[in-house]
């Protein structure tokens, strides 16, 4: 059974990108190469600042959606303890 991840990347401009994948390191490499999401093609990611592992894809998708919500952005701000801009 494959693992799924919800993750948060820090981009060069200080913003955060949120996503989900079943191969975190490979997906990060794709984002860094400029072949990932449109947002990370324009705002180069520099590090994975947070990730959570799930057994089911739908759980990772739901967590990604949460990270993108108003409540999720607040949660990230409170728990990442960084000077990040919300994208």
CA distance 28 to 64: 15
For residue 54, the domain's CATH number is 3.40.1440
The answer as to whether 49 is a domain residue is: yes
pTM for this predicted structure: 0.91
The answer as to whether 86 is a domain residue is: no
H-helix or E-strand containing 5? strand 4-11
35-64 pLDDT tens trace: 989 999 999 999 999 999 999 999 999 999
The answer as to whether 85 is a domain residue is: no
| Structural domain count of the chain | 1
CA distance 17 to 37: 9
Write the DSSP string, 12-74: TTSBEEEEEES-HHHHHHHHHTT-S-HHHHHS-EEEEEEEEEESSHHHHHHHHHHHHSHHHHH
Calculate mean pLDDT across residues 26-30. 97
Residue 74 half-sphere exposure toward CB, CA atoms < 13 A: 3
Checking if the pLDDT of 1 tops 70, the result is no
The answer as to whether 57 is a domain residue is: yes
């Amino acid at each position: 059974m494959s693992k799924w991840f919800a993750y948060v990347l820090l981009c060069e401009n200080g913003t955060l990108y949120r996503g989900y994948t079943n191969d975190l390191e490979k997906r990060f490499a794709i984002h860094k190469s400029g072949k990932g999401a449109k947002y990370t093609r324009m705002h180069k990611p520099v590090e994975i600042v947070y990730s959570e592992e799930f057994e089911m894809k739908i759980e990772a998708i739901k967590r990604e959606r949460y990270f993108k919500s108003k409540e999720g952005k607040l949660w990230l701000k409170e728990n990442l303890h960084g000077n990040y801009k919300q994208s």
